[in-house]
Amino acid sequence: MGVHFDSIPNTNWFYHAFEFPGKSFGGSGVDLFFVLSGFLVGGLLLKEYKNTGTLRVSAFIFRRGFKIWPAYYFFLLLQVLSHSHPLKSFLWQNVFHVQNYVGSSITHTWTLSLEEHFYLLLALSMGWMTSRKWPIEKILKVFIGTMVLVFFVRCGTVALGFHGANEMTHTRIDSLLMGVVLASLFHFYPEKFEALSKKPLPLIGITAAVVAFMVFVQDQAIRFSIGFTIIYFGAAALTLLVFSHSGKIKENAIYKFIAMIGVYSYAIYLYHNSVRGPAMKIAMHAPEVLRWPALMILQYGLAILLGMFTTQLIEWPFLRIRNKVIPQQVQDIGTPDEEEKETETVKKAKRWPLYLAISFCVLIAVGEVAARKIGLGNPPLYIHDSESMYALKPSQHLKRFGRNIHINQWGMRSEDLADVPAVGKARVLFVGDSVTWGGAQTDQKQTFPYLVADKVANLETLNPSCGGWAPANELGWLTEHGIYSSNVVVLVYNDGDLFQSKAPDIAGKHSGYPDHKPTLAIQEGVMRYLLKVNQNDPGTGQDAPSMAVAAEIRKTIQAEIDMVKKAGAKVIVYESKLDPIAKLPDHTIEARAELKKMVEGEGIPYLTADLDHADYYNAYHPNPKGNEAIASLIAPVVKKLLTSGKAH
């Protein structure tokens, strides 16, 4: 896990020492795992051949599939549902176990793909050899000969500059075969196995030498060619050392704790990369001095807990089914047997992880129902818009936090309306940003465009506004969509707009502007509101204000005004002030004055409401009380323009 986990830059020597093994040679744990896997799983086939003289190849493949596939495909299903990766970047590759050749955005599962290829080939080849009554000596020569062949193929791949020597099956299975060779010695040549393993000092020396190689030799050409061979010989020495000389160590509490975690190692392996992002988001909320330890504890802790839960819920129930359908028939004769030990562990395992898992699932279910009840899981959706960059998706009706939101067929927070106003009806178009849109915290009927329609008889109002829009986005929307036969267009700007450049397309890229519904409501609550994942601010213009920029923004506003006039509608400009308790910078006062001068110079009504602090949700956004005050200011001017014959 250490090689994959994220870190926070620091200069603390202890932190670097803690990370050093994982970051420096943690990847070589794959070779140790391959050797152990070949020793344990390959030993199943060898033991069956020794005891019965035959092999049930189909039974081995079936049992292997029941061990690996349920948890693996459940993991893939969660990746699909969570939209954590684009489907085309991982799904078919992982479903068909070819990710170690064609690549996958789920990067760590290449080892599982390689293992599946190996055990399928091992079972089929051993089945063919044993069906012809090959003696173990001949089978062992095939294993060793294949190891030599793979070594030369890998070295040739590296020498020729081809990619993939680290991950492809035909360049890496020699480490798995090393484990199978050790298992062959254990089962058929016990005296030779004992001779290799009885003296600990040579094994310790080999292991130490290989660790030194991993630390000091970093050349990729060496590591990816002869390096893998050196490393798996070291892994074999460590395997022999632990197998034959760990009697007293097994009584140690630390050993027992690690062994307990090892029971859940497969599920931990599947999910450990999935916890990195959430762990980082949570850790960054801690005080700076605690961020590194918080990140380490969260990454390891969440990976282990998630592994325990999914093992109890998915892996072990399928193992019980497997053992009933096709039981392991070979009797234990003292060999380390991964599947038999797992079966025994399943029988003896304490039930508290299962109870925790069930409680967790109940908590998730209750949380999901509660989250749905308040409106999470059903956010307003956005689409790409060529000129305005992003806009509300048409035809939505939802309830969020007890407030109604209705998006009509044109992508506006307005009622469904005909293409042109009915006889005797007038139409007003409001174009702005989140101030005008109102947000999910404001009910549809409490937005000031809706309230203006209530205050003026025979009036329809349209509100296509989106949070984060700058004047350039609004100009883009008007250019692309027009004014929908409106008699009056109200252009709404807040103080930040006077310096804000065009916001980029953030539909589906910012958690506040999703382009699809989340799988779970609690997923939205955690990712969007708690961890605030993917919330790069589209910009308010306040970070680097410049009067030169403000002058350019006024040109954009002038272009909006000219476009509305050309379309035959009258114009109102409403300037939305910051909350009065917010300190107003001098440049904002100056930019606002320049805008007012420009607008009123053309005879256009320039309106601004002097609201109190109690009229705001936050520095920018008016609450229902503030919206009522804004509507009361705009409505009489709209009514006057509609009854006036003079066009502006």
Task: Tell me the pLDDT tens digit for each residue of 481-508.
Answer: 999 999 999 999 998 899 999 999 999 8
| DSSP conformational letter for 539 | -
User: Strand pairing of 382-385 and 389-392?
Assistant: antiparallel
Task: Write down the pLDDT at residue 256.
Answer: 79
Pair (69, 195) in one structural domain: yes
Indicate whether 342 and 484 sit together in one domain. no
Average pLDDT (320-349) is 59
- Mark residue 203 as left, alpha or beta (left: phi above 0; alpha: psi -120 to 50; beta: remaining): alpha
Q: Report residue 336's pLDDT band, with 50, 70 and 90 as the boundaries.
A: very low
Q: Which of 324, 349, 374 finishes a domain?
A: 349
- Alpha carbon distance 363, 385 (integer Å): 40
pLDDT above 90 as % of the chain: 61
In a domain, 363, yes or no: no
User: Any idea what DSSP says for residue 585?
Assistant: P
Torsions phi, psi for 222 (to 5 deg):
-70, -45
pLDDT band, very low/low/confident/very high, at 416 (cuts 50, 70, 90): very high
Q: Is residue 358 part of a domain?
A: no
| Residue 21 confidence (pLDDT) | 76
SS3 374: helix
- The reply to whether 512 falls in a domain is no
Is the pLDDT confidence value at 646 over 50? Answer: no
Q: How far apart are CA 411 and CA 394, in angstroms?
A: 4
What angle do helix axes 471-481 and 547-566 make, rounded to 10 degrees? 20
Residue 370 lies in a domain: no
Residue 446 shares a structural domain with residue 319: no
If you average pLDDT over residues 349-364, what whole number do you get?
A: 70
Token pair for 399: 């309830």
Q: Is residue 381 part of a domain?
A: no
- d(Cα 400, Cα 378) in Å, to the nearest integer? 8
Pair (172, 261) in one structural domain: yes
3-state secondary structure of 286: coil
> Looking at the structure, do residues 412 and 295 belong to the same domain, yes or no?
no
Does residue 620 or residue 129 have the better pLDDT? Answer: 129
* pLDDT in the model for residue 331: 44
Q: 426: helix, coil or strand?
A: strand
CATH code (residue 446): 3.40.50.1110
Domain that holds residue 129: 13-349
Q: Looking at the structure, tell me whether residues 427 and 488 fall in a common domain.
A: yes
Q: Which of 81-85, 118-122, 251-255, 518-522 has the highest mean pLDDT?
A: 118-122
Count of CB atoms within 10 A of residue 212's CB? 11
Entry pTM: 0.64
Beta bridge partners of 389: 385
Which of residues 332, 349, 366 is at a domain's end? 349
Report the pLDDT value the prediction gives residue 127, as an integer from 0 to 100. 94
Phi, psi of 395 (to 5 degrees): 60, 65
Pair (111, 230) in one structural domain: yes
The pLDDT of residue 260: 81
Verify that 40 and 142 share a domain, yes or no. yes
CA distance 516 to 519: 9
Q: Please state, rounded to an integer, the average pLDDT across all residues of the chain.
A: 88
**How close are the terminal C-alpha atoms of the chain, in Å?**
68
Question: In which residue are the tokens 């290989």 written?
Answer: 210
What is the SS3 assignment for 398?
A: strand
Residue 337, pLDDT score: 45
- Percentage of residues of the chain with pLDDT beyond 70: 92
| Contact assessment for residue 123 and residue 137, using Cβ atoms and an 8 Å cutoff | no
609 and 477 belong to one structural domain: yes
Residue 412 near residue 392 (C-beta atoms within 8 A): yes
Q: Same domain, yes or no, for 114 and 208? A: yes
Q: Which run of H or of E encompasses 254? A: helix 253-262
> Does 318 map to a domain?
yes
Domain final position from 315, 332, 349:
349
Q: Does residue 355 belong to any structural domain of this protein?
A: no
pLDDT, tens digit, 9 for 90 and up, residues 278-299: 888 888 877 788 888 888 898 9
Backbone torsions φ then ψ of 540, nearest 5 degrees: -115, -10
What is the C-alpha to C-alpha distance for residues 173 and 278, in angstroms, rounded to an integer? 34
Distance CA 237, CA 91 (A): 38
As a whole number of angstroms, the longest Cα–Cα distance in the chain is 109
| Cα distance between residue 414 and residue 398, in whole Å | 13
pLDDT bracket for residue 334 (50, 70, 90): very low
Q: What is the pLDDT of residue 619?
A: 87
The pLDDT value recorded for residue 541 is: 47
> 442-469 burial, b if ≥16 CB within 10 A, otherwise e?
bbbebbbbbbbbebbeebbbbbbbbbbb
Contact of 550 with 471, CB cutoff 8 Å: no
Do 342 and 401 lie in a common domain?
no
Q: Could you read off the pLDDT of 575-601 as tens digits, one per residue?
A: 998 888 877 667 888 899 999 999 999
Q: Does residue 279 lie in a domain region?
A: yes
pLDDT of residue 519: 82
Q: Are residues 403 and 342 in the same domain?
A: no
Per residue in 518-553, pLDDT (tens digit) is 888 888 888 888 777 777 655 544 445 688 889 999
- Number of compact structural domains in the chain: 2
